[in-house]
Amino acid sequence: MNVVVVDDDPLVRLVLAKAVTGLGHVSLPAEAGDMALEIVESTPVDVVVSDWMMPGMNGLELCQAIRARDAIEYVYFMLVTALDDSEHALAGIAAGVDDCLVKPVRPFDLRLRLMVAERVTGLHRRLAERQRGLERSNVDLAASARQEPLTGLGNRLKMSEDLEIFRSRRDRYHEPFGVALFDIDHFKTLNDTAGHLAGDEALRRVAAVIRRELREADMAYRYGGEELLVVLPAGVRRVAAAAERIRKAVEHAAIPHPGRPGPESVVTLSVGVAAGDGETEAFLLAADAALYKAKSEGRNRMAVAGRWFAVPELADSP
């Protein structure tokens, strides 16, 4: 163990340090409380053995300072007091001291107490490791519970949580947001012709293209079977521009679409865009209606809710 030995008397410090070293530990001597605190803050320390009365920070204050730190690793604290100093011993234990030793410290006593300290710090260490593991798996679980496994995009849970955040930001800080609902054209034909695995693969590749086209603040979700939703913190013109950029990027990616009617047998998207005020459900309905409009007008195009026309000229705006 790493053991900090704190005493303002160099001879007492020397004896304690030698005893600690002799017991197979690493001794880190300090002649004052603030020095000891510096060591604790910069080095992994298992145990502190500190005199009670020292100039400057006393042993109790040192213990309180160590306990006040926001650290997972536990520091086992031993206070050295005079034999009949039950008052300070009691105050020390109440303030977070783990053990009290009587002056002059006998090496054999120190040996016994350090054995106890080793057991206790070992328990704390294992507990801290388990705690860290739990926190990690909690974070992982929270992430995986919000991810759609095939596309790696967010799922419906993540979508509704994020939409709520977007909505409250818009209402509170007037930060606009809009949605773009994408649908793979003739997806049923793809599944029927090439099989569901090919359909899955096409979805995965479309999702990858979408992810590549997004900025950090933009979010994408698998909305339904072959429907993907993108949410952007922007007004309708920028949302529409992004939707059109994504539509083109997917077309250029030339993802095979065997069985698609027409000359080009690549995957294309239709997209409906909605932005502005209103509840999120109304937003999604409007985007869905716009998507339907884009489909009915011949697919592989965009329609904006409230403006029943495609706006290809927006595609070149930043």
Partner 1 sequence: MRQDRTAVAHPEDRPGRKNDGGDDRSGAERAAVDETVIEQLASITDSQGFSVLGELLNAFLGAVPARLEALDRAVTEEDAVALASQAHALTGSSASFGARGMADLCRELRVVAERGDIGESRRLVGALHAEFLRVRAWLVSFRSRS
CB of 50 to partner 1, least distance (A): 13
* Cβ count within 10 A of residue 295: 17
CB of 80 to partner 1, least distance (A): 9
**Binding segment toward partner 1, per CB under 8 A, in 100-108, 192-200, 222-230, 267-275:** 100-108
By CB under 8 A, name the one of 106, 126, 132, 188 that touches partner 1: 106
Task: Decide whether 99 or 148 has the Cβ nearer to partner 1.
Answer: 99
Encoded tokens for 235: 């007004």
Is position 10 an interface residue for partner 1 (rule: CB under 8 A)? yes
CB of 61 to partner 1, least distance (A): 15
Residues marked active site are found at: 226
CB of 58 to partner 1, least distance (A): 10
Q: What x-and-dash track marks residues 58-97 binding partner 1 by CB under 8 A?
A: ------------------------xxxx-xx---------
Task: Decide whether 52 or 182 has the Cβ nearer to partner 1.
Answer: 52
60 φ, ψ (degrees, to nearest 5): -65, -45
Can you give the C-alpha Rg of the chain in angstroms? 33
**Binding segment toward partner 1, per CB under 8 A, in 99-107, 140-148, 151-159, 237-245:** 99-107
Is position 120 an interface residue for partner 1 (rule: CB under 8 A)? no
By CB under 8 A, name the one of 4, 18, 187, 277 that touches partner 1: 18
Is position 108 an interface residue for partner 1 (rule: CB under 8 A)? yes
Is position 21 an interface residue for partner 1 (rule: CB under 8 A)? yes
- Total number of residues that touch partner 1 (CB under 8 A): 29
Task: Decide whether 11 or 94 has the Cβ nearer to partner 1.
Answer: 11
Task: Report the alpha-carbon distance of residue 312 to residue 318 in Å, rounded.
Answer: 13
Encoded tokens for 226: 């072959």
Task: Decide whether 105 or 206 has the Cβ nearer to partner 1.
Answer: 105
Is position 137 an interface residue for partner 1 (rule: CB under 8 A)? no
* Cβ count within 10 A of residue 289: 16
CB of 108 to partner 1, least distance (A): 6
Is position 119 an interface residue for partner 1 (rule: CB under 8 A)? no
Task: Decide whether 51 or 227 has the Cβ nearer to partner 1.
Answer: 51
Q: Which residues in this chain contact partner 1 in the complex, by CB under 8 A?
A: 7-12, 14-15, 18-19, 21-22, 24, 51-53, 82-85, 87-88, 102-108
